[in-house]
Structure 1
């Protein structure tokens, strides 16, 4: 009876469907394949895709992915920053065992050099360096004469202070920088503001008491490079109470084997009238 019933169950039980192999998904892609896709994305996109799965997370840390985001002469940038690291251990910021992702992360943060008169970081869009120079690293005519100039503290500057001009006949700001710029085109700007930044009851205000003379004659901007490039522009200073980037011009770096020296100036030296009420913050060089 028992054996007959078991045979009956075997006859009546339908056969099991064949096993279906699991579907192939993104997690089955080799990291090398994922990495070959990530090299075509920008750093922000790479970091977002790292959360997709294990394969993307592993590929997003691959050296060849992040080396494609670094400038071709990033070793020179590291040496330049380390050598100027204000007396710290030269390996403190960039130890030899850093992976390319960590090198990119550290170069993307503002790195202070030259006694904190300059800051260097990588532009997120192009991966090329930006250089910001404080007024303390520039040559300003009469800066030490307190009858005309003063240094004021402000949170509106990355360096914590700006130079404020009350009045002068001869206005001239000169500077130069020598830096291992990677191949590319760069623009140079002066960051200045008409009016003195202040705070009243916690609110930002602009003291316009000393603003005068900038609408009579334009300010002249110039730059020149060690390989003979030059640019000249001029404009009237306008828009009191707002920080403005006044473009001086652009220069092209065609090879990065040696540092490029850039000289620049901003002047209004017509002594038929005085001018004042101007804040000088910094000079910015950034990839175009």
Structure 2
């Protein structure tokens, strides 16, 4: 009896001295979901792929409510609603991270995967370009170097004016606007990219003038010489701030070179890009 009693007490002491083992499966699902709210969307998806215990928790709607842009319902209304019908918030976030066309395919909108920032792209067809229908000066060139599969190419002109407008409800924050331009006409020869720069002229004489204004009185004007032939360049037009996310902001922007003392040509116009400052 004494030996059995001694063995019992020894086993009891060993059990009390051994820490209890636990694993991630023991954490309640709502607690896992709360942990995930502190991660960015890419980290959430990576963790759910690496650990099965987080897969179900990663689909909780309240997590993705925090990650979706505040204007996501406005965006959905702009797009084809049938694409987003009956989606969970996680699936909705994934769909919005794709490039989604609207306004007859002349514009695209998407959400940055990591930050949820809203980005917009406006094609050259969605801009008002003086004389663009006159084939003596302008041509539309199909290309795989543009998301819109076509660009406007300026052969020669005395008067260059490109104007665009956007009326959109954006989340609060600071944004930048760019023109995507290229000096020279690119193409392919024997499967390799080439760029004809023979017709580039006039851009080193006077700078082009970029201007941006918003409906709440913000204004930005800058001057820049176009350069770097043969390469697509994003030229920064200006920055603006959205402080009322519940209201639409009307943005007007332009590119001008209207000095008629000389001709200019050899310029490709692809698109206008709008994004949060930190992505520019």
Query: What is the TM-score with the length of structure 2 in the denominator?
Result: 0.91
Match for residue 258 of structure 1 among 247, 272, 277:
247
Whole-angstrom distance in 2 between the partners of 1:194 and 1:109: 29
In the other structure, the counterpart of 2:174 is 185
Q: Which moved more, 1:234-243 or 1:22-31?
A: 22-31
More helix by share: 2
What do you get for the CA RMSD once the two structures are aligned?
A: 1.8
CA shift at 1:199, angstroms?
0.3
CA shift at 1:93, angstroms?
0.9
In the other structure, the counterpart of 2:92 is 103
In the other structure, the counterpart of 2:84 is 94
CA shift at 1:45, angstroms?
0.8
Matched, 1:239 2:231: no
Whole-angstrom distance in 1 between the partners of 2:11 and 2:194: 78
In the other structure, the counterpart of 2:152 is 163
In the other structure, the counterpart of 2:212 is 223
CA shift at 1:59, angstroms?
1.4
In the other structure, the counterpart of 1:42 is 40
Matched, 1:79 2:69: no
Query: Would you say the 8 A contact 2:42–2:114 is kept in 1?
Result: no
- The count of residues paired between Structure 1 and Structure 2 equals 269
Query: Would you say the 8 A contact 1:27–1:53 is kept in 2?
Result: no
CA shift at 1:51, angstroms?
2.5
Query: What is the TM-score with the length of structure 1 in the denominator?
Result: 0.89
Query: Would you say the 8 A contact 1:168–1:274 is kept in 2?
Result: yes
Offset from partner CA, 1:167-199 (integer Å, 9 cap, x none): 100011001011111111110000000000110
In the other structure, the counterpart of 2:21 is 23
In the other structure, the counterpart of 2:129 is 140
Whole-angstrom distance in 1 between the partners of 2:270 and 2:84: 29
CA shift at 1:22, angstroms?
5.8
Q: Which moved more, 1:47-56 or 1:216-225?
A: 47-56
Offset from partner CA, 1:52-83 (integer Å, 9 cap, x none): 4333111111111111111122111211223x
**What are the ranges of 5 or more consecutive residues in structure 1 without an aligned counterpart?**
1-9, 83-89
**What are the ranges of 5 or more consecutive residues in structure 2 without an aligned counterpart?**
none
Provide the secondary structure at the position in 2 that maps to 1:284.
strand
In the other structure, the counterpart of 1:51 is 49
Q: Which moved more, 1:29-38 or 1:272-281?
A: 29-38
In the other structure, the counterpart of 2:183 is 194
In the other structure, the counterpart of 1:154 is 143
Whole-angstrom distance in 2 between the partners of 1:207 and 1:34: 57
Whole-angstrom distance in 1 between the partners of 2:84 and 2:137: 43
In the other structure, the counterpart of 2:267 is 278
